[in-house]
């Protein structure tokens, strides 16, 4: 594969995804303020950020399902924003998407779900498709459940089935939106290992949107922190690890963006994110300015992660 996890050779290659000045507005709401992001072949890029920070919206633009208001998104060196639907469908065959719910068709078995993209996008014989489906189900550990319907399998199995379907056309890029959301810790860890295995064994490039920090640190080669429609930082996982583990007195000397990232990584109850929330003038808009607002301490909110 193309030097994914050591990150060195991959850096010299051309990006497989290039975002430049990508902004998105819905009506008067600016969701993304114009971000730049390069994803290199073979790497796993984790995009993290709080709820509503614009993660899913970024992903939806990268897969060409909604257009950016401004900016350019290139996949495989070609601007997808300038493509018509036919051209876009050609590009879509080269990447897979794992949606939050798995997005399986309930009236089809697991195997039929995985076979669907092959029927839709290839002229392969049914026997060949059968073999392809078996290989993909084996990859995600679902071969024995091929003939079950989505209602008959667990949430984690649905995720894996969705992943097998995303892999059906041997994509070069896999996009994941919250792959471990709603899963128990062990199942979630299994999905993480699967993402790593696909990257190592098949050399796929992965873009993973998540706010699960354990998962992010397990799978990422590089990470991008999104906050209120801005990418605050794109860096190697090791940079984020060092920031997370930095002693509080040292970190206190950092700028606001990095202190904010650190709070997010650690799940600390206090820091720039909470200060900002408390000063967000919602209450003031409702009740008028308060002479002195006291933030109650939240002793029950111990950080659950380092
Ligand atoms: N189609 C849409 N029309 C209008 N507003 C939208 C649309 N899609 C997203 N938004 C808004 O964009 C903002 C970012 O949403 P997005 O789904 O990208 O957040 P997110 O970072 O994925 O959050 P979460 O972690 O909760 O999934 C939200 O305020 C949302 O209401
Ligand atoms: Mg989302």
Q: What is the pLDDT of residues 233-253, one digit of tens each?
A: 999 999 999 999 999 999 999
Non-local CB neighbours of 46 within 8 Å, separated by 6+ positions = 208, 209, 210, 216, 219, 220, 222, 223, 224
Does 294 have pLDDT greater than 50?
no
- CA of 47 from ligand 1 middle (Å) equals 14
Tell me the pLDDT band of 300, cut-offs 50, 70 and 90.
Answer: very low
- CA of 56 from ligand 1 middle (Å) equals 7
Tokens of 156: 């984690």
What end-to-end distance do the CA atoms of the chain give, in Å? 33
Share of residues in the chain with pLDDT > 90 (%): 62
Who has greater pLDDT, 257 or 184? 257
Residue with tokens 């995009």: 47
**Tens of pLDDT along 73-131?**
999 999 999 999 999 989 998 999 987 766 889 999 999 999 998 998 889 999 999 99
Beta carbons of 34 and 77 less than 8 angstroms apart: no
CA torsion 48-51-53-57 (nearest 10°) is 90
Average pLDDT, the chain: 87
Report the alpha-carbon angle 254-271-208, nearest 5: 85
Going by CA atoms, what residue is nearest to atom 3 of ligand 1?
A: 26
- CA of 63 from ligand 2 middle (Å) equals 14
* Site residues for ligand 1, CB cut-off 6 Å: 26, 31, 49, 51-57, 211
**Tens of pLDDT along 27-37?**
999 999 999 99
* Atom from ligand 1 closest to the CA of residue 100: 27
**Tens of pLDDT along 188-235?**
898 899 899 989 988 999 999 998 899 999 999 999 999 989 999 999
Going by CA atoms, what residue is nearest to atom 26 of ligand 1?
A: 51
Nearest bound ligand to CA 226? Answer: 1
> What local confidence, expressed as pLDDT, does residue 301 receive?
46
| Element (DSSP H or E) covering residue 206 | strand 205-210
How far from 240 is each of 167, 180, 195, 233, 234, CA to CA, in Å?
A: 30, 20, 20, 9, 9
Does 273 have pLDDT greater than 80?
yes
Does 5 have pLDDT greater than 60?
no
Burial class (CB in 10 A: 0-12, 13-18, 19+), 248: exposed
Task: Please give the model's pTM, rounded to 2 decimal places.
Answer: 0.85
How far from 279 is each of 33, 118, 283, CA to CA, in Å?
A: 22, 52, 9
CA R_g for the chain: 21
Who has greater pLDDT, 13 or 261? 261
């Amino acid at each position: 594969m193309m030097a994914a996890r050591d990150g060195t050779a991959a850096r010299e290659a051309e990006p497989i995804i290039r975002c430049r000045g990508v902004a998105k507005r819905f009506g008067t709401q600016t969701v993304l303020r114009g971000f730049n992001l390069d994803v290199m072949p073979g790497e796993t890029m984790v995009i993290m950020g709080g709820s509503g920070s614009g993660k899913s919206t970024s992903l939806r633009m990268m897969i060409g399902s909604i257009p950016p208001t401004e900016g350019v998104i290139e996949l495989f060196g070609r601007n997808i924003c300038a493509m018509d639907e036919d051209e876009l469908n050609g590009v879509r065959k080269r990447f897979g998407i794992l949606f939050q719910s798995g997005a399986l068709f309930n009236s089809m078995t697991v195997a039929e779900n995985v076979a669907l993209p092959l029927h839709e996008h290839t002229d392969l014989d049914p026997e060949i498709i059968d073999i392809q489906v078996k290989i993909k189900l084996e990859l995600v550990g679902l071969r024995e459940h091929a003939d079950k319907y989505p209602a008959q399998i667990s949430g984690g199995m649905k995720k894996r089935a969705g992943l097998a379907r995303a892999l059906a056309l041997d994509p070069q890029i896999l996009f994941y939106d919250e792959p471990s959301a709603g899963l128990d810790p062990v199942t979630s860890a299994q999905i993480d290992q699967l993402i790593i295995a696909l990257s190592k064994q098949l050399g796929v490039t992965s873009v993973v949107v998540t706010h699960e920090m354990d998962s992010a640190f397990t799978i990422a080669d590089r990470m991008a922190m999104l906050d209120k429609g801005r990418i605050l930082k794109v860096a190697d996982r090791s940079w984020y690890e060092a920031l997370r583990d930095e002693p509080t007195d040292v970190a206190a000397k950092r700028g606001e963006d990095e202190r904010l990232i650190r709070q997010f990584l650690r799940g600390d109850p206090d820091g720039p994110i909470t200060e900002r929330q408390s000063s967000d003038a919602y209450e003031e808009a409702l009740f008028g300015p308060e002479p002195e607002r006291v933030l109650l301490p939240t002793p029950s909110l111990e950080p659950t992660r380092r």
